[in-house]
Amino acid sequence: MSGLLIRDAAILTMAGEKPELLSGDIVVRGSAIASVAGRGEAAQPGAEAGAGEGWQVIDAGGMLAMPGLVNCHQHAAMTLFRGYSDDLRLMEWLETKIWPAEARLTGEDVYWGTMLAIAEMIRSGATTFADMYTFMEDVARAVSETGIRASLARGLLFLDRHGEERLREARALHEEWHGAADGRVTVMLGPHSPYTCPPEGMRKVLALAAELGAPVHIHLAETVEEERQCRSAYGKSPARYLAGLGLFAEHQVLAAHAVHLSEDDLDLMAGMRGGISHNPVSNQKLGCGVAPVQAMRARGIAVGLGTDGAGSATTLDMFEEVKTAAWLQKNRAGDPTALTAYEALRMATREGARALGLDGRIGTLEPGKAADLILVDLRKAHLTPRLDPVALLAYAAGGADVDTTIVNGRVLMLHRRLLTIDEGEVLGQVEARARRLIYG
């Protein structure tokens, strides 16, 4: 079997409750991690493995290896709308800008927009993303070709005549793509939100989720407006509305945002399978508020981090989410000990994997896990001195410090060069397509 030897790295496994820093080699066989700094397959030391035919060796001296980042909430193809309409309220942004432009989207637009997002994610250290959008077979094609890992959901809305058609597309996506691309693609069902899914539609989605055994990816309690609207329509908070339909008790759920939750809402969600995607940059940019992350974590709910689409968040750099998540919770609590650097990094890796239901496969550097990892080059002015790599990664590092990105044992970026994407073509395609979508 071919393999990969990462030689002489500082290694942050993210496996323990406390930071665990090792140094040495990481051996990857096929798609999986075989050993980490001598732990794992003892009989075949890295040097010996690396000497063999078909082995790739990466010298990681001066670099830190850590699990690839998990971006828990994305609308990847919305890179097409990056910087197009900022500084608007969410509903106004959707209704006057985004939905009209999206009505002109084709599958090819979505493919190229997703390719751009994937290029940016690989460049900034994200190795897995959870996506909800339209033309998902084109998203799946981009995921398959580029080598990244993704959990995909066809966005389901029931405000027009096309609800049933979208549901059929969701079923077809699951049949065709769940477990595809060497297991890198998994499929969820994506009822967009409480405000776009009235009870009748929501029940159909949940029946299909139960039939397929698929997790449910949904926006939840993102804005005060949503909360008000839900109370006036159903006399309940968004979380209670969904709980009443059996969402948290009966399904594995990935709930995005979860900003406006009461204690009562949080109690309803305690014990849920799956978790939350906390999207602090998007929330701050849209003035949505600060999610009660500490209260969620205190109830044992997995809280991962996401960027949301580039249409709203503008950037897909997960290192920004790590910083912002920590800073917001410290400010919310008025306490700098709240949400530590290591906890924020755990949210970006292991907790995110748990929120996606993928923690058995990814999220830590341990023998047997899929080889999804990044090398961060620490030989930089803003990352010196290296007294506490955890603090540097959480508070000083940025996506541009990622040197090498590996998914499922395959090197997707080596020393800042993308190996599976023709970046020049992607940039050109998106520039032209964005102009057509917006200016006609």
| Residues forming the site for Zn ion (CB under 5 A) | 308
What is the C-alpha separation between 32 and 51, in angstroms, rounded? 19
What is the C-alpha separation between 382 and 398, in angstroms, rounded? 10
SS3 433: helix
- Of 36 and 98, which CB lies nearer to Zn ion in the complex structure? 98
Which residue intervals of 147-198 are DSSP H helices? 163-177
CA 46 to chain CA centroid, Å, is 31
Q: Tell me which residue of 48, 49, 21 sits closest to 37, measured CA to CA.
A: 21
Q: Tell me which residue of 367, 378, 433 sits closest to 404, measured CA to CA.
A: 378
What is the C-alpha separation between 227 and 261, in angstroms, rounded? 9
Beta strands at 63-67 and 373-377: parallel, antiparallel or unpaired: antiparallel
- Of 308 and 351, which CB lies nearer to Zn ion in the complex structure? 308
Give 368: exposed, middle or buried? Use CB within 10 Å, 0-12, 13-18, 19+: exposed
- State the minimum distance, in angstroms, from the CB of residue 371 to Zn ion: 29
- State the minimum distance, in angstroms, from the CB of residue 61 to Zn ion: 40
- Of 29 and 82, which CB lies nearer to Zn ion in the complex structure? 82
- Of 277 and 405, which CB lies nearer to Zn ion in the complex structure? 277
CB count within 10 Å of CB 52 equals 12
- Of 190 and 399, which CB lies nearer to Zn ion in the complex structure? 190
What is the C-alpha separation between 117 and 319, in angstroms, rounded? 15
- State the minimum distance, in angstroms, from the CB of residue 282 to Zn ion: 7
- State the minimum distance, in angstroms, from the CB of residue 89 to Zn ion: 15
SS3 223: coil
- State the minimum distance, in angstroms, from the CB of residue 134 to Zn ion: 13
Torsion of CA 62, 68, 69, 71, to 10 degrees: 150
- Of 114 and 405, which CB lies nearer to Zn ion in the complex structure? 114
- Of 50 and 191, which CB lies nearer to Zn ion in the complex structure? 191
- Of 143 and 341, which CB lies nearer to Zn ion in the complex structure? 143
Contacts of 223 (CB under 8 A, 6+ apart): 90, 91, 259, 260, 286, 288, 289
- State the minimum distance, in angstroms, from the CB of residue 348 to Zn ion: 18
Structure tokens belonging to residue 329: 């919770």
Give 385: exposed, middle or buried? Use CB within 10 Å, 0-12, 13-18, 19+: exposed
- State the minimum distance, in angstroms, from the CB of residue 413 to Zn ion: 26
- Of 308 and 401, which CB lies nearer to Zn ion in the complex structure? 308
Q: What separation in angstroms does the CA of 115 have from each of 80, 156, 366?
A: 11, 22, 29
- Of 216 and 378, which CB lies nearer to Zn ion in the complex structure? 216
- State the minimum distance, in angstroms, from the CB of residue 73 to Zn ion: 6
Residue nearest to Zn ion (CB): 308
- State the minimum distance, in angstroms, from the CB of residue 156 to Zn ion: 13
- State the minimum distance, in angstroms, from the CB of residue 367 to Zn ion: 35
